[in-house]
Structure 1
């Protein structure tokens, strides 16, 4: 009769063998640019990400509430249907650090992301698409915050 204790002991041995053979994945770490997340303005963030000046475009979409009841968790969606997108970024104009999120996009990934950002006050929120050909396109939406998120 197999007991729970025996099963766990056997599982631990199997996992140890797999780890020794290199069959288990190693620790995954996110790659990000500290300078981009430290940027205070949209221009500084784009420069740190290696992108040029953004141009307003109807092909980039940003969604979010008109009024956020809690600035600590504001739902925001960014998307584009343009081919050749390399990165999508979310920036909050009046936050201490403008860049809130960056998503790397490949051909196997649909350029449509939803996240939650922290906002200290009412501000313009921008979705920026960095294209493979060097173009930088953006859309923006004003989101009003009724309770503070970043500043208390």
Structure 2
């Protein structure tokens, strides 16, 4: 009986990891389509440890001149282990002085934050940050 449970666990663990990643991948594809994100060009300011997962401060600053020729059109924030991975979307225009947003987000538990910045030329930039949460802020 022990061997059977161990085998069942080994078979189910990869499937469970895929099931967890699937809603995140779907949420990202819903926002950026088939674009392949490139690392860099985004500065994230967030605490390494958040005592209250219900109010985690997040600042996103994208390196962009915000001119008509080159600007950020959207910033998307995703949480890898929240019940709903899509946390926020911000639409930007070249009329903004800089591509920066500040907000507070809810996090269920220790996880990674993924931030994607869509540029007007169709490229997508990506940055991630790990945040430890002592008290979760989401209900399942």
| Higher mean C-alpha displacement, 48-57 vs 95-104 | 48-57
The reply on whether 1:93 has 2:80 as its aligned counterpart is yes
Task: Spell out the pairing of 1:1-152 with structure 2 (5 A cutoff).
Answer: 40-41=23-24, 43-82=25-64, 83-109=70-96, 110-151=98-139
Higher relative CO (Cα under 8 Å, sequence separation at least 6) belongs to 2
Distance 1:131 1:75 in 2: 24
Q: Contact 1:78–1:90 (CA<8 Å) still a contact in 2? A: no
Tell me by how many angstroms 1:50 deviates: 4.4
Tell me by how many angstroms 1:53 deviates: 4.0
**Over alpha carbons, which structure has the higher Rg?**
1
Cα deviation, 1:91-116, whole Å, max 9, x if unaligned, reads: 11111111111110100112100101
Across the aligned residues of Structure 1 and Structure 2, the Cα RMSD in angstroms comes to 1.8
Q: Between Structure 1 and Structure 2, how many residues are aligned?
A: 113
Tell me by how many angstroms 1:87 deviates: 0.3
Q: Contact 2:37–2:116 (CA<8 Å) still a contact in 1? A: no
Q: Contact 2:72–2:118 (CA<8 Å) still a contact in 1? A: yes
Q: Contact 1:61–1:127 (CA<8 Å) still a contact in 2? A: no
Q: Contact 1:51–1:130 (CA<8 Å) still a contact in 2? A: no
Tell me by how many angstroms 1:132 deviates: 1.4
Distance 2:88 2:37 in 1: 19
What TM-score comes out, normalization by structure 2 length? 0.73
The runs of at least 4 consecutive aligned structure 1 residues that moved more than 6 Å come to none
